[in-house]
Structure 1
């Protein structure tokens, strides 16, 4: 029970900064990449994984977002925990801004509890926001000295975000749940207000999943795994809830999802389809706003390539013996 005291402190600290108001860099939250949902997945089950994906979200004709994401994580015996590297590059169409993000995370060894295991993780991401190069080039060619430059202004470098995050992940035989809290700090490079180290909105990601039926101690005992999951993402200027039950077969993936963009009042219905080749898996998520209950017929899509390298239990003395807990 002593570990739950730490969780309560994380929740309490998170609630204290809900009132911070500013604009963050992008409302996109990739859902098919575990490392971007909760950094405590780093080196999960002593595995090595690589995720490469692209997410697109079109709210309306004036708002479009695109983000490329790349993550690599593995288990480190020397550090006695999971480590990961994160790279993302995105476009905020409405504001003519490009973002480049680099991050690192560390997840501690799981701590056994009475009914499961608990993991804590920390991560730090750095985000550099610049004016889109194409728009910046047009300003130099098309705009004369008396005309105003295109948004967000004349400066190429706009701001830098430092994004420290804390995460907790709990797994039992029946469920998995995790909470990630980010506390970004903003350094503004563009002219205007002096807001160095300005606090941007806290972002919280809640992850809840059913047990991975079909797996036992990392090995597949059935040809499929049924995984219902709920993901809630919150920040001051963007909140979304996603319900996603799917079936992961040895050769393919099939599922549906309901995604509610509360901020823009867009409620999407979509599907998941994927195919696997050994340790390689490609998944596509696509959906659109439901007419009548959504303000806009927003389109969203996410393509993700996943490569999983399972752990190898090897003993020089007894090569065929399994690892002891």
Structure 2
């Protein structure tokens, strides 16, 4: 449950506010926010950014957003005054006109047949769902301090096109994708684990070699395995039950056991033995003389050191009002690393 206050702007100028409640607790889940505003105000809106919140952990509480409307609506409270000066670290989609520009870019590549729906926005991405005939496509923007998702998806597609979404258009920081069938695999079944993990291992084995992306500098003893492309956030919520893996903007170069350790951190303990067995056997097929289990033991700690660096990078590159998404995360990851017994 979120108590929402929308500070509505038109062309960057504050025109009034309105307050309401939405069922979804997650701050970056903005579809119910714009759905309510569009219906209540009779205009088209987009959430630009988080202004403040009383909640914690990315959810709940009272949440204040800066919202952009396509014209001045009636029915707003006008008793307050707000100004929204630009901030050096503000991302393009958090500035006036940014969401509309992302949709306009997508419209140059597909023939949209209905309203574009803003699904998610925060300091790491802005995501729109666009109807195209009987299907939907997804337009996504990501920040410059993360990996170029279109490039990464293209790298994976060269060795296994079934593992990544179909890219309809891409440029640095923007991606237009076909819909990936199925559901999100937050609680993956045995079948989903045995279908996704070996295919990703095979892709990593094929992509191993000279670095094609930056590394985060956290070493894992090789144990006979090569450095390769890492998804970087290989938790099952980024898998679709149809077999496609999404959200490649965290990708970097490093030891493949880090992705396996990330997966273990997001799955129930009763699934760990299966994941470890499937991942280990898959690597032994590609590198028979390796010791994947030994590498994974070290990666259980190292993955938190990588996480601390990534979260700190987020904090270093986002504007002040949205730091609340990640405050304390580097310290929490370091504490988890210290608690792991190798």
Give the TM-score, by structure 1 length. Answer: 0.25
Higher helix share: 2
TM-score (norm 2): 0.24
More strand by share: 1
